[in-house]
Structure 1
Amino acid sequence: MTGDIEQTAEHTTAKLGIEFCGEWFYPVPGTVYSIGRDADLVIDTNPYLHRRLLEVESAQDLWWLANTGKSISVALATADGAYQAMLGPGTRVPLVFPELLVMFTAGSYTYEFTIRNDAARFTGRELPADDATDGGTTIGAVPLTISQKQLLVALCEPILRGGMMGSSQIPSSAAAAQRLGWPLTTFNRKLDNVCDKFDREGVQGLRGGGGKLATNRRARLVEHAILSRLVTAADLPLLDEDAGDR
């Protein structure tokens, strides 16, 4: 699934590296490095993925990440979730943090990779040891019932079990409802409530125009939950609890 990139000694001395599926790729200053379905870094052959979704290049003494796609928005976050941004088509951001998590969805698959910048201008927060595994570092956390958190864990389960290893298929509503032992109508009602709750808190992408919930809300919800550390692998036992609406 990765691109056929020759990693020369020159590449390994570059200040910026991209980790995808356990492999490292190093854009060269002065060139444009593309990421997508038919690019320098091949993410997947998924036909829903743009041929060139993202580009990395150095300019104005900074590294930049640009979204060159037409319809896919890309979620960005620091490892502690303190900084988050949505990179829409036609926009770009400077890569100023030492480490940035990148997530996007094409069709039914969500993809993740990490960008590490040795020349970062900013530093992130140190994660306290007791917060590193319980999701306690969530910034601006929205209160959730146990069943609402179970819903998030069910949707994020493939990513939580896979450990951000490149790509994961988002469960359908029917599959997630079955995993929790809920009727599909119950799952959809709770999904509506969770999306409404986060939409009121300003999370983008959970509603369409005219108050209609976006069709890709599950994908956006997964991205937000993972990058905000609302759910972590430590929450997986919730899937086996009969929490009801406590």
Structure 2
Amino acid sequence: MSPLRVEFAGEWHDLPPDRPFIIGREGDLEIDENPYLHRHFLELSHHDGLWWLANVGVRLAATVSSAGGAVQSWLSPGARMPLVFERSVIVFTAGPVTYELSLHTHEAPYDVSREVQASMSGETTVMPVSFTPMQKQLMVALAEPMLRREGVSINELPSSTAAAERLGWSMSKFNRKLDNVCDKLDRMGVQGLRGGPGKLATNRRARLVEYAVTSQIITRADLPILDDETLQDAADADGD
């Protein structure tokens, strides 16, 4: 059995193979006192020859990706998945705060080939998608705290108002482009971006940030576009 280690905020935890390891507001790894975070949220355990990650919460979901972002899954409440890569990154949002932790093992059952890393940008199916400059500006504005982080595992998610002000946009323009980006990714098969009853705007923004960063649709190299006033929004298939 290959040992599994968890890293969060610069602290390392070696997982016991004989009992579950609990992550949440309380447990083996106490993330934060954030009241929006479940007392017990994620559970790591070893059985059937593999390490497994389970979402034992009732409301929050987590984005789980290979370290390079080539393979990504959305772990909803009640779901579980095997950990098959040498390094995995877990990102989740509770209230206005986004958290990131990583899982490390030395003997992973699978590896992501360079070809897959170069071609994949979705959760299960490779589907090319392009974004207009202003759509990317929107994603970078929402993800700016995560993109600027320097070894930080906790980031504040900007409100729609703050992101719109950062870009110099009206709220109607911001919301229209947010709808366009979320609709585009929803058609691509990305979960958690569809609106509707019970779907809070904060949850949709958080899911967009998690997906865009972990799948590397946007990276730190895109930060300069926030201050690029010369960008013109090109027409696309959505009429954005």
- Using the size of structure 1 for normalisation, the TM-score is 0.86
Q: Verify: 1:171 aligned to 2:158, yes or no.
A: yes
**Amino acid paired to 1:200:** R
Distance 2:152 2:66 in 1: 17
Distance 2:169 2:16 in 1: 50
Shift of 1:119: 2.4
Distance 1:240 1:62 in 2: 46
Q: Verify: 1:111 aligned to 2:83, yes or no.
A: no
2:178 match: secondary structure: helix
State the match for 1:24 in structure 2: 12
RMSD: 2.1
State the match for 2:226 in structure 1: 239
CA contact (8 A) 2:71 2:120 kept: no
For residues 100-122 of structure 1, give each alpha carbon's deviation from its aligned partner in whole angstroms, at most 9, with x where no partner exists. Answer: 11011110111111111222100
Shift of 1:125: 3.2
CA contact (8 A) 1:82 1:228 kept: yes
Query: Unaligned regions of 5+ residues in structure 2, if any?
Result: 235-240
State the match for 2:84 in structure 1: 96
Which structure 2 residues correspond to residues 1-246 of structure 1 after superposition, within 5 A?
15-126=3-114, 138=121, 140-163=127-150, 165-209=152-196, 214-215=200-201, 216-242=203-229, 243-246=231-234
Question: Structure 1's 207 and 164: CA in aligned 2 closer, same or farther, altered over 3 A?
Answer: farther
Query: Unaligned regions of 5+ residues in structure 1, if any?
Result: 1-12
For residues 160-199 of structure 1, give each alpha carbon's deviation from its aligned partner in whole angstroms, at most 9, with x where no partner exists. Answer: 0014621111101110011111112111111111111111
Runs of 4 or more consecutive aligned structure 1 residues displaced over 6 Å after TM superposition: none
Shift of 1:126: 4.4
1:162 match: secondary structure: coil
Question: Structure 1's 151 and 188: CA in aligned 2 closer, same or farther, altered over 3 A?
Answer: same
Question: Structure 1's 164 and 105: CA in aligned 2 closer, same or farther, altered over 3 A?
Answer: farther
| Aligned-pair identity (%) | 49
- Using the size of structure 2 for normalisation, the TM-score is 0.88
